[in-house]
């Protein structure tokens, strides 16, 4: 789960980490009054969306007076901000962070993430922090320094020190940088983060170390023990289809294309997405229905895939193990009834490949159905090829 920058900073503040004074604002009026409360000559008005790259996209602006705060807040609130992380559709700005401006001497990059190879948290740092970090990672990866953290020992002082020197933090701020790194690591572990990224971590003109931007991601499986964090969920930032699917117990990820697929098991779902791509299709989603093939669940999955007209065809690829193929077939017919009322056809062609438990019964049900645009495919390859062709034909 993601949260907003101002919420991340509030959490880090509780760990004694140095973040600028700031207040969130949901309206122009609130932006102006909060800027006055901060009582500082220069504030920064920052668009709060669940994506980075705001600086370059005009979502982070300095304001030197109440009038300037008003003007910037008016411009940003309600605006669709398109950054290199939002995708072309962008995100609507509904909240702002009004923050004291820091006097920056230098910007660094610092992040913590779980490294699967070493099964530990890795701290990454770079002296080339700020808005160009993706370029640094792509062109000069040697400028990104890593420290692997032993989960039993935690982030040792010498490791933080080694990082601070490696990214050229000046002598006067080394101790502060070390302490900031250790507090950040504590926050990462205590809050069950899956990612914690500070970009930039800054050295100010008076040699303080300040967290100027913060991105925290949490492990969904651990949210049950952090009700305070779960409360921060901002549903307006999430894909509505993904939200409805999660509530129905379906693993659904929107991939943006037009060939929907419904599969059981994450491995098979990924292989199916690959197969559709292989035949030139653009997968609309990743959807793992899991081991439960109750017809209502299948019908729910169908309605999610069809919602909004994104899908031009559906490929059902089921390996019946725990799932029973006859239940899947019944679910498809039930979905047709729910969606089309008379149950005679579905809004888009559906290719079904069934294999495994009760497969003959399942195929029999599909053969006998009066639904006109459901096709049974004997193999996964053949099915993928067929649905891609049907979708291409529907588009022409």
Residue closer to ligand ADP, measured from CB, 91 or 312: 91
Q: Does 197 bind Mg ion (CB under 5 A)?
A: no
Count CB atoms within 10 A of the CB of residue 178: 22
Q: Does 331 bind ligand ADP (CB under 6 A)?
A: no
Please name the residues in contact with 280: beta carbons below 8 A apart, sequence gap of 6 or more: 388, 392
Q: Does 24 bind ligand ADP (CB under 6 A)?
A: no
Among 11, 45, 108, 200, binds ligand ADP (CB under 6 A): 200
241 is in an annotated binding site: no
Question: Six-digit token pair at 82?
Answer: 């398109």
Spell 17-38 as b/e; 16+ CB within 10 A means b: bbbbebbbbeebebbbebbeeb
Q: What are phi and psi of 105, to 5 degrees?
A: -95, -40
Q: Strands, E, within the chain: which ranges?
A: 22-25, 43-47, 60-63, 80-81, 91-92, 96-100, 104-115, 120-126, 145-149, 193-204, 209-211, 215-218, 251-254, 259-263, 285-288, 313-320, 350-356, 374-376
Question: Six-digit token pair at 311?
Answer: 């899908």
Question: Six-digit token pair at 371?
Answer: 């639904």
Q: Is 252 a catalytic residue?
A: no
Residue closer to ligand ADP, measured from CB, 184 or 333: 184
107 is in an annotated binding site: yes
Residue closer to ligand ADP, measured from CB, 104 or 145: 104
53 is in an annotated binding site: yes
199 is in an annotated binding site: yes
Q: Do the beta carbons of residue 315 and residue 260 sit within 8 Å?
A: yes
Q: Does 199 bind Mg ion (CB under 5 A)?
A: yes
Judging by DSSP bridges, how do beta strands 120-126 and 145-149 pair with one another?
Answer: antiparallel
Q: Does 54 bind ligand ADP (CB under 6 A)?
A: yes
102 is in an annotated binding site: yes
Among 6, 12, 18, 20, binds ligand ADP (CB under 6 A): 20
Q: Which residue is nearest to Mg ion (CB)?
A: 213
Strand pairing partners for 106? 203
Q: Does 100 bind Mg ion (CB under 5 A)?
A: no
Q: Does 213 bind ligand ADP (CB under 6 A)?
A: yes
14 is in an annotated binding site: no
Considering 109, 185, 252, 385, which one is annotated as catalytic?
109
Q: Does 213 bind Mg ion (CB under 5 A)?
A: yes
Among 8, 9, 99, 160, binds ligand ADP (CB under 6 A): 99
- Report what 28 binds from ligand ADP, Mg ion, none; CB cut-off 5-8 Å by kind: none
C-alpha separations of 381 from 314, 374, 393 in Å: 15, 17, 18
Report the C-alpha gap between 159 and 66 in whole angstroms. Answer: 44
Question: Six-digit token pair at 221?
Answer: 């499986």
Q: Does 126 bind Mg ion (CB under 5 A)?
A: no
Annotated binding site for substrate: 264
Q: Which residues are at the interface with Mg ion (CB under 5 A)?
A: 199, 213
Annotated binding site for Mg(2+): 199, 213
Catalytic residue positions? 109, 197
Q: Which residues are at the interface with ligand ADP (CB under 6 A)?
A: 20, 44, 46, 52-55, 60, 99, 101-102, 104, 107, 130-131, 199-200, 212-213
């Amino acid at each position: 789960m993601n949260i907003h920058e101002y919420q991340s900073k509030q959490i880090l503040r509780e760990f004694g980490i140095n973040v600028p004074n700031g207040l969130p604002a949901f309206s122009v009026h609130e932006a102006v009054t909060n800027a006055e409360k901060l009582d500082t000559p220069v504030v920064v008005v920052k668009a709060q969306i669940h994506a980075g790259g705001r600086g370059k996209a005009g979502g982070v602006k300095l304001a030197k007076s109440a009038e300037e705060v008003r003007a910037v807040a008016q411009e940003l609130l309600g605006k669709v901000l398109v950054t290199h992380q939002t995708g072309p559709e962008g995100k609507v700005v509904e909240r702002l962070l009004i923050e004291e401006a820091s006097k920056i001497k230098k910007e660094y990059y610092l992040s913590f993430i779980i490294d699967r190879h070493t099964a530990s948290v890795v701290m990454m740092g770079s002296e080339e922090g700020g808005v160009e970090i993706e370029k640094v990672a792509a062109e000069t990866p040697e400028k990104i320094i890593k420290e692997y953290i032993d989960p039993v020992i935690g982030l040792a002082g010498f490791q933080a020190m080694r990082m601070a020197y490696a990214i050229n933090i000046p002598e006067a701020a080394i101790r502060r940088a070390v302490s900031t790194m250790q507090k950040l690591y504590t926050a990462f572990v205590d809050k069950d983060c899956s990612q914690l990224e500070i970009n930039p971590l800054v050295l100010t003109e008076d040699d303080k170390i300040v967290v100027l931007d913060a991105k925290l991601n949490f492990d969904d499986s651990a949210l049950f023990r952090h009700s305070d964090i779960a409360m921060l969920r901002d549903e307006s930032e999430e894909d509505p289809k993904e939200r409805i699917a999660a509530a129905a117990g379906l693993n659904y990820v929107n991939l943006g294309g037009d060939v929907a697929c419904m599969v059981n098991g994450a491995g098979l779902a990924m292989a199916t997405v690959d197969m559709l791509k292989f035949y030139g299709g653009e997968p609309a989603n990743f959807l793992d229905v899991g081991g439960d093939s109750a017809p209502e669940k299948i019908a729910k999955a169908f309605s999610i895939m069809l919602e909004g007209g994104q899908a031009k065809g559906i490929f059902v690829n089921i390996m019946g193990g725990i799932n029973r193929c006859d239940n899947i077939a019944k679910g498809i017919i039930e979905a047709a009834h729910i969606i089309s009322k008379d149950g005679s056809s579905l809004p888009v062609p559906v290719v079904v490949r069934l294999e495994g438990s009760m497969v003959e019964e399942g195929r029999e049900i599909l053969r006998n159905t009066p639904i006109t645009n459901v096709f049974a495919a004997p193999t996964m390859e053949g099915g993928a090829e067929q649905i891609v062709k049907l979708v291409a034909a529907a588009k022409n």
